[in-house]
Amino acid sequence: MDLTPRQNQIIDVAMSLIAEKGIENLTIKNIAARTGISEAAVYRHFESKYQIVMTLLDRFEERGNKLLREMQQQEGGALKKIEYFIFDRYKLCAAEPNVAKVMFSEEHFQGDKRFSERMLAIMRTHSHEIHSFIRQGQSSGEIRSDISTMAIFRTVFGAVRLLVKQWCLSDYSFDLLGEGHALWEAQKLMLTANRNS
């Protein structure tokens, strides 16, 4: 996705506005005030609020797709690749808390079917790819195969989402990466506990 510096600024501001007070806070007037440009100037870069939100979601998808490509290049088995994905998300959230507040809070997009469907499509694409890594791990005996791929996916990534949400709600009061590491070590024990049975 090729955006101009001003378009990237507008998208960053849009994400901040959504993170602060929800999507209702995202107006062209508020974007203009935050960026220090006129509303007309905002419209020169984006046709509408709808286009701004869809571009923001495109950015989420692009980051996720890039990460999935990197996962495929990682050395090691399925667990190592899944770990790479998870910790990239933790590092991204720690570096950009607004991303965490928006990317892990789909309720922001539920008021408009176009946004919620786009978010769901992104989630499905990414989950499909991660399912394939889980299946590879099950086939090789690295990940236990007595639990369905979907249950493993939901157990692992549901816990990741909960941890990030707790971190956001606590006003970032704990070490996300440290807690993420402890959670992942516990998850690995659960995923590999019966692999030789």
Looking at residue 52, what is its pLDDT? Answer: 95
Mean pLDDT of the chain: 90
Instruction: Give the per-residue pLDDT at 134.
Output: 95
Q: Who has greater pLDDT, 107 or 182?
A: 182
**Dihedral (Cα; 100, 167, 13, 68), 10-degree rounding:** -20
Rounded CA-CA distance 41/116 in Å is 28
pLDDT tens sequence across 153-166:
999 999 999 999 99
Per-residue confidence (pLDDT) for residue 194, from 0 to 100: 58
Judged against a pLDDT cut of 80, whether residue 107 lies above it is answered with no
The predicted-structure confidence for 12-55, as pLDDT tens digits, reads as follows: 999 999 998 888 889 999 999 999 999 999 999 999 999 999 99
Region class of 3: left (phi > 0), else alpha (psi between -120 and 50), else beta: beta
Residue 75 domain-assigned (yes or no)? yes
Residue 44 lies in a domain: no
**Stretch 94-102: mean pLDDT, rounded?**
91
Residue-wise DSSP of 154-194: HHHHHHHHHHHHHHHHTTS-S-HHHHHHHHHHHHHHHHHTT
For residue 1, tell me if it sits in a domain: no
* Digit-coded pLDDT (tens) for 80-92: 999 999 999 999 9
Characterise 75 by phi-psi region: left (phi > 0), alpha (psi -120 to 50), beta (else).
Answer: beta
* Cα(73)–Cα(76) distance, integer angstroms: 9
Q: Which residues contact 168 (CB under 8 A, 6 or more apart)?
A: 97, 100, 101, 104, 105
| Mean pLDDT confidence for 131-137 | 94
Structural domains of the chain, count: 1
Range of the domain at 86: 56-192
pTM of the model: 0.84
Segment 60-77 mean pLDDT: 88
135 within some domain: yes
Q: Are 109 and 116 in contact (CB under 8 A)?
A: yes
- Model confidence band, residue 195 (pLDDT cutoffs 50, 70, 90): very low
Whichever domain contains 186, its CATH number is 1.10.357.10
Mean pLDDT, residues 166-175: 95
Q: Are the C-beta atoms of residues 10 and 52 closer than 8 Å to each other?
A: yes
Neighbours of 192 (CB within 10 A): 15
Query: Would you say residue 42 lies in a domain?
Result: no
Contact criterion met (CB below 8 Å) for 142 and 81: no
